[in-house]
């Protein structure tokens, strides 16, 4: 199963930049979308259907904000929009789809970059999302958690670690959360296959020509629950896709 996660920073804008052609060529079995910034009725469902994909969406109550989706070539056995946690679901941040014994979750973690209150929301979200995932794992042990987590885990995942020690996305408590989450029985698929390799990023600021200079952050992940680690075949960052300030990240499981 070829699974791609992609924060498109607005699905309609990404389509205007050639997302349709890219999707046709990339041909993932499952595409997890974050930051769709659209209501389902504003998204051209027929376009994706013509490419052989079913699409399922979970939008935020606020217009033009957040939103996640899952596209798939195979019809899911089950789809669930939201977590049952009100403040998370009001922002359209989690959607789940089951395919046989594998459950895929598309998640968009709050950025925390708008100041103190939103940083508190981010840390609360991480705790509540972890509880949601651990509960889900009891009935669905084969999990693929795809999304924009808005955290660089280690110094190798960010181009300027010293300058960003006090920046949301690289704060000690955020990085510690990723470490302890992995210790709960999850694998960072990219680092599992590419340990120690520098200069691999999935997000670049639009400022200062950051992408051309590869001054980026690796904040997009495909986390696998431990039982799936033995089925991990490949993991890549698709940095030649230019529809967003993020790029897609791919994982293949057998």
Render pLDDT for 3-24 as a digit per residue (tens, 0 to 9): 999 999 999 999 999 999 999 9
Number of domains, the chain: 1
Q: What is the percentage of the chain residues whose pLDDT exceeds 90? A: 98
Is residue 101 annotated as part of the catalytic site, yes or no?
no
Catalytic residue of the set 148, 157, 188, 220 = 148
Helices (H), ranges, the chain? 11-16, 19-26, 45-50, 86-89, 116-139, 172-183, 189-193, 226-229
pLDDT digits (tens, 9 = 90+) for 168-208: 999 999 999 999 999 999 999 999 999 999 999 999 999 99
- pLDDT tens per residue, range 225-250: 999 999 999 999 999 999 999 999 99
Closest CA to 56 of 22, 16, 14, 99: 99
Helix (H) or strand (E) holding 239: none
Q: Could you list the residue range(s) of the whole structural domain that residue 65 is in?
A: 2-253
Nearest of 102, 178, 85 to residue 137 by alpha carbon: 102
- What pLDDT was estimated at residue 114? 63
Dump pLDDT digits (tens) for 132-154: 999 999 999 999 999 999 999 99
Nearest to 249 by CA among 215, 222, 211: 222
pLDDT in the model for residue 25 = 98
For the whole model, what pTM was predicted? 0.97
CATH of the domain at 159: 3.60.10.10
């Amino acid at each position: 199963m070829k699974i791609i996660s992609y924060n498109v920073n607005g699905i309609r804008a990404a389509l205007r930049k050639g997302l349709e052609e890219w999707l046709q060529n990339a041909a993932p079995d499952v595409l997890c979308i974050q930051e769709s910034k659209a209501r389902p009725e504003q998204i051209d469902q027929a376009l994706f259907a013509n490419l052989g994909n079913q699409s399922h969406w979970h939008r935020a109550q606020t217009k033009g904000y957040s939103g996640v989706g899952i596209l798939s070539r195979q019809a899911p056995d089950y789809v669930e929009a939201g977590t049952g946690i009100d403040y998370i679901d009001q922002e359209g941040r989690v959607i789940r789809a089951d395919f046989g014994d594998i459950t895929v979750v598309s998640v968009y973690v709050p950025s925390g970059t708008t100041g103190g209150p939103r940083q508190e929301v981010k840390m609360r979200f991480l705790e509540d999302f972890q509880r949601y995932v651990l509960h889900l794992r009891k009935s669905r042990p084969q999990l693929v958690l795809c999304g924009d987590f808005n955290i660089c885990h280690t110094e190798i995942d960010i181009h300027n670690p010293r300058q960003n020690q006090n920046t949301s996305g690289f704060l000690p408590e955020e990085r510690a959360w990723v470490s302890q989450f992995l210790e709960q029985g999850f694998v960072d698929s990219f680092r599992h296959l590419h340990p120690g390799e520098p200069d691999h990023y999935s997000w670049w600021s639009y400022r200062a020509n950051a992408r051309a200079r590869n001054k980026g952050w690796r904040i997009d992940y495909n986390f696998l629950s431990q039982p799936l680690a033995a089925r991990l075949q490949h993991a890549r960052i698709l940095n030649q896709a230019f529809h967003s300030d993020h790029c897609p990240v791919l994982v293949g499981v057998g």
